[in-house]
Amino acid sequence: MSTLRIYDNLDEARATILKRHSLNEVSVPGWLADSLAQLFGAPVTPDEAVRRIIRSVRENGDAALLDWNARIDGAQLDALAVPAAEIAAALDAIPPEVADALRLAADRIRAFHEKQPVTGWMDATGEGALGQLIRPVDSVGVYVAGGTAPLPSSLLMSVIPAQVAGVEEIVVTTPPRRGDGSVSPVILAAAAICGVSRVVRVGGAQAIAAMAYGTQSVPRVAKIVGPGNLFVTLAKQQVYGDVGIDGLPGPTETMVIADASADPGLAAADLLAQAEHDVLASAILVTPSRALAEQVAVEVGRRLEDLSRAEIIAQALENRSGAVIVRDLAQAFDVANDYAAEHLCLLVEEPWQWVGRVRNAGGVFLGESSFEVLGDYVAGPSHVMPTGGTARFASPLNVLDFVKITSLIGLEPGAASELSVAAATLAQAEALTAHAAAAQARVTRR
């Protein structure tokens, strides 16, 4: 029976479950290496596999996408785009309570992001005007994972902030289901609720390549967002620069800081929920109470047996998860800030008193009633959050991800003439004589 390993030595925990790994350091399991060798006719690394897929899509467009659909997803398709009528009909193809839950989530996500201040400004003085123009990006591609589980919530969490920002063209790509090549009705229903009419049946690195460079069925977009597996993430890394991306999200992670007042059953439930995502997911408890850690470990073992994805959870618990014993809550927050978790859950007696100690986290969940699963679905903020320690410098997906800031400079001739003296001096200091000459030409016009 799998359970939660307890680390009494913080240095040992930092060398194991708290240690961050680069995207290029991800170890490839044997079965995946064998699968890649069979797919490409020779052993290849995931990075090289993605490079070849991207090249084929750039050169052959839809033909390459259809070929990869067949070879990777086992889906024989004649067309890639999902008919608009099928998207519209999807709401009637899912249970009414699911449709209602999707609408509730969509309304809350939209209301949350509409509160985000995103405004340009202009300062007009006697010198002229300086300011910033805010404009939405022209187009966005949204990747929605659909491998081991369809994720309509990711569609809502990615599409709606883009719509609030004013993006006019949004295309969704999602893998076809093995066999009939269809798309899960619940994903199409989420698209219908958002008013998205362009859904394309393609997944993996090939979907990222299609959105980055365009094919006959997939328009080239300005920015790609949405989490995916290792191959999706590597593809986003490789196309970045030719297209914008939201980041390089890796396996999901949660860190729970708990004190002796925490309910061990709820702490265990929250850790198990995160471990359910992926065999490489991280679910880490940090607590000064060893008694609590032992109780949580027992609860994890007891509850695991009844869960549908128990095998995945067991591997996640074995790989990158555990309970870390610290001296006190102050040290727990030091550990959390160093780890910079995607989700930081505070199951402590007075969570609001500790918010000021949080520097690095994608999202902070305060108390047992503000648990991470609510953030996954219906709380309001996007659940697309920085992983892999990138919360040290990155933010959750939000409206600002879908706009561009353009600097506005409109100086009057007199002000330009005065400022040009300093500009010419600095240009000369940098040995840029053409710059200096351009500035000096304005000085002489006074």
Query: Among all residues, which ones are annotated catalytic?
Result: 342-343
Domain boundary among 247, 272, 287: 247
**One domain for residues 147 and 293:** no
Distance (Å, rounded) from C-alpha 191 to C-alpha 197?
7
**One domain for residues 265 and 375:** yes
Residue with tokens 């500035």: 439
Domain contains 125: no
Domain contains 223: yes
**One domain for residues 204 and 313:** no
Domain contains 6: no
**One domain for residues 233 and 277:** no
DSSP state of 195: T
Sign, CA dihedral 284-290-296-298, equals: positive
**One domain for residues 243 and 264:** no
81-96-225 Cα angle (round to 5): 40
Distance (Å, rounded) from C-alpha 261 to C-alpha 137?
47
CB 408 within 8 A of CB 129: yes
The two tokens of residue 70 are 């067949």
**One domain for residues 206 and 279:** no
What order do you get walking across the sheet with 403-411 strand by strand?
121-125, 128-136, 403-411
Domain boundary among 192, 221, 247: 247
β 282-287/322-325 pair status: parallel
Q: What is the pLDDT along the chain (446 residues), one digit of tens a residue?
A: 568 999 999 999 999 999 998 777 767 778 888 999 999 999 999 999 999 999 999 999 999 999 999 999 999 999 999 999 999 999 999 999 999 999 999 999 999 999 999 999 999 998 999 999 999 999 999 999 986 678 999 999 999 999 999 999 999 999 998 888 899 999 999 999 999 999 999 999 999 999 999 999 999 999 999 998 889 999 999 999 999 999 988 788 999 999 999 999 999 999 999 999 888 899 999 999 999 999 999 999 999 988 999 899 999 899 889 999 999 999 999 999 999 999 999 999 999 999 999 999 999 999 999 999 999 999 999 999 999 999 999 999 999 999 999 999 999 999 999 999 999 999 999 999 999 999 999 986 65
**One domain for residues 197 and 293:** no
**One domain for residues 178 and 75:** yes
**One domain for residues 326 and 435:** no
Q: Which residue blocks in 199-354 are alpha helix, DSSP H? A: 204-213, 230-239, 264-275, 290-304, 310-320, 329-339
Domain contains 9: no
Q: Can you tell me whether residue 14 is helix, strand or coil? A: helix
**One domain for residues 99 and 240:** yes
**What is the total count of domains within the chain?**
3
Most distant CA pair in the chain, distance: 83
**One domain for residues 355 and 285:** yes
Regarding pTM above 0.85, the answer is: yes
229-235-239 Cα angle (round to 5): 150
- Give the pLDDT of residue 3: 81
**One domain for residues 187 and 88:** yes
Distance (Å, rounded) from C-alpha 147 to C-alpha 12?
35
- Give the pLDDT of residue 446: 55
Does residue 388 come out as left (phi exceeding 0), alpha (psi in the -120 to 50 range) or beta?
Answer: left
Q: The CATH number of the domain where 87 resides is what?
A: 3.40.50.1980
Q: What share of the chain is helix, strand, coil (3-state, %, to 5)?
A: 50, 15, 35
Give residue 277's domain range: 251-393
- Give the pLDDT of residue 445: 63
Q: Which residue blocks in 8-79 are alpha helix, DSSP H? A: 10-15, 30-40, 46-60, 62-73
